[in-house]
Amino acid sequence: DAGVIQSPRHEVTEMGQEVTLRCKPISGHNSLFWYRQTMMRGLELLIYFNNNVPIDDSGMPEDRFSAKMPNASFSTLKIQPSEPRDSAVYFCASSRTGGDEKLFFGSGTQLSVL
């Protein structure tokens, strides 16, 4: 059973460029989360989808960030324009439900904005 699949694993880009991160959740999971991890702030929830619908995007830092989930097997997180302070590891995670079900994390995307 494949886990949560994220791509790319590493992304290096220049300030001002558009960055798109991709995620395929585990089949049958109806909850999807995007997290960002930095040394300073730890793991922060950016956005939560349930049944492909964004339920809580209060963690999205600003309008430069957007996320979509067009179907149950695919989600994207886009940053446009990117800034050096966006450099972090971005994790996608899924669970069967949004409650106390176990959260399964993807391997993450290491983003470096120069």
Partner 1 sequence: QKEVEQNSGPLSVPEGAIASLNCTYSDRVSQSFFWYRQYSGKSPELIMSIYSNGDKEDGRFTAQLNKASQYVSLLIRDSQPSDSATYLCAVRPGGAGSYQLTFGKGTKLSVIP
Contact residues: partner 1, CB under 8 A: 31, 33, 41-45, 48, 50, 55-56, 91, 98-100, 102-103, 105-108
Interatomic CA distance for residues 113 and 92, integer angstroms: 19
Backbone dihedral region for residue 16 (phi beyond 0: left; psi -120 to 50: alpha; all else: beta): left
Classify 45 as helix, strand or coil: strand
Q: Give 10 or 85: the residue with its C-beta nearer to partner 1.
A: 10
Among candidate residues 98, 112, 102, 80, the one with its CA nearest the CA of residue 30: 98
Q: Which two tokens stand for residue 111?
A: 């983003």
C-beta closer to partner 1: residue 12 or 43: 43
CB of 54 to partner 1, least distance (A): 12
Cβ proximity to partner 1: between 50 and 81 the closer is 50
CB-nearer residue toward partner 1: 28 or 99: 99
Distance in Å, CB of 45 to partner 1, minimum = 7
> Which residues does residue 6 pair with via DSSP β-bridges, in sequence order?
23
Q: What minimum distance in Å lies between the beta carbon of 51 and partner 1?
A: 12
